[in-house]
Amino acid sequence: MSFQIRYHPKAWEEVDSLEGGQKKKVYKQILKLSITPELGKPLRALQGNDLSDCRTMYADDKRIRIVYRLVEGTLDVFIIAIGKRDDFDVYKKAVKRL
């Protein structure tokens, strides 16, 4: 079974802005999500930001985070934010986009 990958428009811009090597590693991880979306680690409230219905997957030796959620009742994986973990920015962006 294959899951459909969908992107928040800003997440698409974030992955597109990565360096070549990082971009390739992110796409490789996203391909894995299209096959097994449960691979990502479930999230919880982080610094007051509730992402309990989301998951995160790492790329580029944990330097890049992919924040996503499974769309209930469908075979969709919705990529919400992609970026470095620095100061939890990627998670803050994800909260704003939900």
Q: Return the CATH number at 51.
A: 3.30.2310.20
**Per the structure block, which two tokens stand in for 39?**
């691979």
User: Given pLDDT bands bounded at 50, 70 and 90, which one contains residue 26?
Assistant: very high
22 pLDDT above the threshold of 80: yes
Q: Could you give the angle at the alpha carbon of 70 between the alpha carbons of 68 and 71, nearest 5°?
A: 120
Return the sign of the alpha-carbon dihedral for residues 26, 31, 34, 36. Answer: negative
47 pLDDT above the threshold of 90: no
DSSP 8-state class, residue 51:
-
Whole-number pLDDT of residue 48: 74
Split into its structural domains, the chain has a count of: 1
Whole-number pLDDT of residue 85: 77
Whole-number pLDDT of residue 1: 72
Any idea which residue has 């969908």 for tokens? Answer: 6
Query: The domain containing residue 86 runs over which residues?
Result: 4-97
E strand or H helix that includes residue 81: strand 76-84
Model confidence pLDDT, tens digit, residues 49-90? 789 999 999 999 999 999 999 998 899 999 999 998 787 889
Whole-number pLDDT of residue 3: 95
**Per the structure block, which two tokens stand in for 85?**
């973990």
Q: What percent of the chain has pLDDT over 90?
A: 78
